[in-house]
Structure 1
Amino acid sequence: MRRLCGIWLAVAALSAQADATVAVCYNYGCAERAQVVFADDELEAADARLRQAGSAAEERALLAGVLGELYRISGERSPVGADRAGNLGDWGVHGRMDCIDHATSTTALLELLAARGSLRYHKVLAPARRSRFLFQHFAAVIEELAPPAPLAEPVKVPDHVGLLLFFCDDPGVFADIPPPPVPPPGNPGAQFAVDSWFVNNGEPAVVLPLADWLNGDGPNVQ
């Protein structure tokens, strides 16, 4: 019986280690923080979605939805489920989030995904700030990386190549060897704002070039 209890405790400990906790800010300016625990199967689902990306652009599109889902889960386990796009739609509501709350929390979620190896085409940077007149706005930021080497079967050299090289030393025969796979196009070093303040809780985050975001681009919400 003791042995069975020991095995059960070991399994439970391993399961607990697979979960992850993220501090989610709310009530403006990170006045309060909720420790949101994500189960391993929830994070595995996020990983699986992001693994579908075949390029940096595809990863950004998928990432927007993954962040929305992580915020939806956060809203079930903390007051942030009451958060609405902008500041006016949830003014005075417990669980509301301003851009500081979002920039801080979204960066924490991105860092969690990066630590799990889910982001193959981007790295996480510090949040950015833009100023327009008397107003300031913050957002999380990611930077595109050089694309990883594509996964492919080893290049198969036709049987006749070695034979021809042996008998006639003809370097032109190398043209018969299939070329290696070409990595997907990208723009390494390009930076993007990841702004979840623009949307209601649980909706896909807005991802757009950082230069455009700094210039005031994004949905017209207040």
Structure 2
Amino acid sequence: MNCQMRQWFYSLLLGITLLLPLSAQASIADITRIYKQTPKLDAFEICTGGGCAEIKQVALTSDEWKVVTAIFEDQSPNNASDAPLERKHIAEAIGALERVVGAKTGTSTDRAGTFDNSRYPGQLDCNDEAINSTTYMRLMYQHGLIKLHAIESMGTRSYFLFGWPHSTAVIHELASGERYAVDSWFYDNGAPATIVPFAAWKSGYFPADSPIIKGRAAAK
């Protein structure tokens, strides 16, 4: 396990300890297996329940996958100048896959954020979101949809709302080496993922129109 991966696992363990109910049992062996999986359209695993406390087996039909491939149709093959467009497509495709997978796993009701959402069924935390988004991007890469970016190990920052760790999927642009956070935690299930430069995300980036921010503002 490299240093980057080890750091992520330590942060994940802390996040699981802080965020999960005592009755939830998250196996690091299961998390490791899912994170390292080579997903296939007819067999892959999805994390749910917070810190991957629950694991769902999922398969996609060819028609369901066509919804994803259609998103990338206007992208020129292997044109480095299309990297921003490819990131836009990745964000939209993650949202599309969340809608399809959500209907199969009971996570279509997942709400933005983690806190104050425990009463809602199908809730995911940032660790579930980061692992699942990485799995979705691996499917896209395997099927030749992601050409201008490489998928990295997940990233962690030491704080989000109240000082606890926050995790995200990560990619980097092949031509420039620029790293990007791919974070699907900020919005409800099915919304496009938020893709921003990793340095900005690491410094505490939070989209102003996230339902989490708007909800807190309304409560004041």
What's the TM-score once normalised by structure 1's chain length? 0.69
Aligned to 2:71: 49
Match 1:142 to one of 162, 167, 171 = 171
Instruction: Compute the displacement of 1:41 (Å).
Output: 2.4
**Residues 138-195 of structure 1: CA distance to partner in whole angstroms, max 9, x if unpaired?**
000011113xxxxxxxxxxxxxxxxxxxxxxxxxxxxxxxxxxxxxxxxx21110000
| Cα 1:89/1:116, change in 2 over 3 Å | farther
Deviation at 1:90, TM superposition (A): 2.4
1:58 aligns with 2:85: yes
Aligned match of 2:14 = none
Tell me, in whole angstroms, the C-alpha distance in 2 between the residues paired with 1:31 and 1:77: 17
* Deviation of the 1:50 alpha carbon: 1.7
Q: What is the identity, as a one-letter code, of the residue corresponding to 1:191? A: R
1:124 and 2:147 matched: no
Q: Which has the higher contact order (CA 8 A, sep 6+)?
A: 1
Does the CA contact (< 8 Å) of 1:126 and 1:140 recur in 2? yes
The whole-number CA distance in structure 1 between the counterparts of 2:42 and 2:148 is 22
Corresponding residue to 2:184 among 196, 205, 216: 196
1:77-121 per-residue CA deviation (whole Å, 9 max, x = no partner) reads: 012112100013522333210000000111011111111111011
Unaligned runs of 5+ in 1: 1-17, 147-187
The corresponding residue for 1:217 is: 205
Number of equivalenced pairs: 164
In structure 2, how many angstroms separate the alpha carbons of the residues matched to 1:70 and 1:61?
A: 14
Structure 2 residue ranges without an equivalent (≥5): 1-39, 77-81, 214-220
The structure with the larger Rg is 1
The separation in 2 between residues aligned to 1:108 and 1:118, in whole angstroms, is 14
Aligned to 1:206: 194
Residue 51 of structure 2 is matched in structure 1 by 29
Identity %: 35
TM norm structure 2: 0.70
Stretch of structure 1 that moved more, 45-54 or 196-205:
45-54
